[in-house]
Amino acid sequence: MSRALTLRRWRWREPSILPGFAPALGFTLFYVGLIVLIPLCALVARPWEHGIGGFWATITEDRVLAALRLSFTAALAAAVVNVAMGLIVAWALVRFEFPGRRLLDAAVDLPFALPTAVAGIALATLYAPNGWVGALFAPFGIKIAYTPLGVFIALVAVGLPFIVRTVQPVLQDLDAEVEEAARLLGAPAWRRFVEIIFPAILPALITGFSLAFARAVGEYGSVIFIAGNLPMKSEIAPLLIVVKLEQYNYAGAASVGLAMLILSFAVLAAINLTQRVIARRGAA
Amino acid sequence: MRTVVASRPRGLFAWLAITLATAWVALVILLPLASVFIEAFRKGVGAYLDAFRDPDAIAAIQLTLTVAAISVPLNALFGVAAAWLVTRFEFVGKTLLLTLIDLPFSLSPVISGLVWVLLFGASGWFGPLLDSLGIAVIFNVTGIVLATILVTLPFVARELIPLMQAQGAEEEIAAVTLGAGGLQTFFHVTLPNIAWALLSGVLLCNARAMGEFGAVSVVSGHIRGQTDTLPLHIEVLYNDYNFVAAFAVASLLAGLALVTLGAKAALEWRLGREGAGAGRG
Residue ranges of domains in chain B: 43-273
Residues 6+ apart with CB under 8 A from B105: B154, B158
Q: pLDDT band at residue A50, thresholds of 50, 70 and 90?
A: confident
Residue A13 has what pLDDT?
85
Residue A1 has what pLDDT?
45
CB B141 within 8 A of CB B67: yes
- What is the distance between the alpha carbons of residues A86 and A209, in angstroms, rounded to a whole number? 10
Angle at B37 between CA B155 and CA B20, to 5 degrees: 75
**Residue whose C-alpha is closest to residue B268's, from B151, B260, B26:** B260
Inter-chain touch A225–B107, beta carbons under 8 Å: no
With a cut of 90, say whether residue B48 has pLDDT above it. yes
Q: Where are the beta strands (DSSP E) in B83-181?
A: none
Inter-chain touch B210–A115, beta carbons under 8 Å: yes
CB A260 within 8 A of CB A68: yes
**Residue whose C-alpha is closest to residue A215's, from B26, B262, B107, B176:** B107
Residue B274 has what pLDDT?
63
Residues 6+ apart with CB under 8 A from B211: A113, A114, A115, A116, A117, A118, B230, B231, B253, B256, B257
Q: Which of helix, strand or coil describes residue B94? A: helix
CB A238 within 8 A of CB A120: no
For range B173-179, the mean pLDDT? 94
With a cut of 70, say whether residue B233 has pLDDT above it. yes
Inter-chain touch B114–A241, beta carbons under 8 Å: yes
Closest-CA residue of chain A to B207: A113
For range A16-36, the mean pLDDT? 94
At B81-132, the pLDDT tens digits run: 999 999 999 999 999 999 999 999 989 999 999 999 999 998 889 989 998 9
Closest-CA residue of chain B to A24: B81
At A139-164, the pLDDT tens digits run: 999 999 999 999 999 999 999 999 99
> Which of the 8 DSSP states describes residue B279?
P
With a cut of 50, say whether residue B260 has pLDDT above it. yes
Q: pLDDT band at residue A278, thresholds of 50, 70 and 90?
A: confident
Phi/psi region, residue A15 (left: phi>0; alpha: psi -120 to 50; beta: rest), is beta
Fold of B43-273: MetI-like fold (1.10.3720)
With a cut of 60, say whether residue A279 has pLDDT above it. yes
User: Measured between CB atoms, does A30 come within 8 Å of chain B?
Assistant: no
* Among B7, B173, B254, beta carbon nearest to A96: B7
With a cut of 60, say whether residue B18 has pLDDT above it. yes
Inter-chain touch A116–B260, beta carbons under 8 Å: no
Q: Which amino acid is at B158?
A: R
User: Measured between CB atoms, does A14 come within 8 Å of chain B?
Assistant: yes
Q: pLDDT band at residue A7, thresholds of 50, 70 and 90?
A: low
Count of C-beta atoms within a 10 Å radius of residue A279: 13
Inter-chain touch B114–A245, beta carbons under 8 Å: yes
User: Measured between CB atoms, does A253 come within 8 Å of chain B?
Assistant: yes
For range B169-176, the mean pLDDT? 94
What is the DSSP secondary-structure string of B227-256?
T--HHHHHHHHHHTT-HHHHHHHHHHHHHH
Closest-CA residue of chain B to A228: B239
With a cut of 70, say whether residue B137 has pLDDT above it. yes
* Among A31, A46, A93, beta carbon nearest to B118: A46
Q: pLDDT band at residue A6, thresholds of 50, 70 and 90?
A: low
Residue, of B154 and A175, whose pLDDT is higher: B154
Q: pLDDT band at residue B66, thresholds of 50, 70 and 90?
A: very high
Residue, of A179 and B233, whose pLDDT is higher: B233
Mean pLDDT, chain B, integer? 92
- What is the distance between the alpha carbons of residues A163 and A146, in angstroms, rounded to a whole number? 27
- What is the distance between the alpha carbons of residues B252 and B243, in angstroms, rounded to a whole number? 14
With a cut of 70, say whether residue A283 has pLDDT above it. no
Residue B39 has what pLDDT?
96
Evaluate whether ipTM surpasses 0.95.
Answer: no
Residue, of B226 and A64, whose pLDDT is higher: A64
Q: pLDDT band at residue A214, thresholds of 50, 70 and 90?
A: very high
Residues 6+ apart with CB under 8 A from A241: A253, A256, A257, B108, B110, B111, B114, B218
Mean pLDDT, chain A, integer? 91
Residue B276 has what pLDDT?
46
Inter-chain touch B211–A173, beta carbons under 8 Å: no
- Residues in B touching A46 (Cβ below 8 Å): 118
- What is the distance between the alpha carbons of residues B104 and B90, in angstroms, rounded to a whole number? 24
| CB-based burial, A202-217: b 16+ in 10 Å, e otherwise | bbbbbbbbbbbbbbbb
Domains of chain A: 50-283 (1.10.3720.10)
Closest-CA residue of chain A to B124: A250
Inter-chain touch A98–B217, beta carbons under 8 Å: no
With a cut of 70, say whether residue B74 has pLDDT above it. yes
User: Measured between CB atoms, does A38 come within 8 Å of chain B?
Assistant: yes
Q: pLDDT band at residue B280, thresholds of 50, 70 and 90?
A: very low
At A93-103, the pLDDT tens digits run: 999 999 999 99
Radius of gyration of chain A, Cα coordinates, nearest whole angstrom: 24
Sign (positive or negative) of CA dihedral A163, A168, A174, A179: positive
For range A124-139, the mean pLDDT? 94
CB A209 within 8 A of CB A83: yes
* Among A92, A125, A254, beta carbon nearest to B18: A92
With a cut of 70, say whether residue A3 has pLDDT above it. no
> Which of the 8 DSSP states describes residue B186?
I
Count of C-beta atoms within a 10 Å radius of residue B42: 13
- Residues in A touching B208 (Cβ below 8 Å): 113
Q: pLDDT band at residue B1, thresholds of 50, 70 and 90?
A: confident
Residue B12 has what pLDDT?
87
**How many angstroms separate the CA of residue B119 from the nearest CA in chain A?**
7
* Among A97, A121, A172, beta carbon nearest to B246: A121
Inter-chain touch B6–A12, beta carbons under 8 Å: no
Whole-number Cα distances in Å, B149 to A85, A105, A197, A246: 33, 30, 41, 23
**Residue whose C-alpha is closest to residue B204's, from B163, B161, B265, B251:** B265
Mutate to test the interface with B, among A10, A28, A211 (most CBs of B within 10 A): A28
At B189-202, the pLDDT tens digits run: 999 999 999 999 99
**How many angstroms separate the CA of residue A234 from the nearest CA in chain B?**
17
User: How many residues can be counted in chain A?
Assistant: 284
- What is the distance between the alpha carbons of residues B254 and A117, in angstroms, rounded to a whole number? 10
Residue A284 has what pLDDT?
57
Q: pLDDT band at residue B173, thresholds of 50, 70 and 90?
A: very high
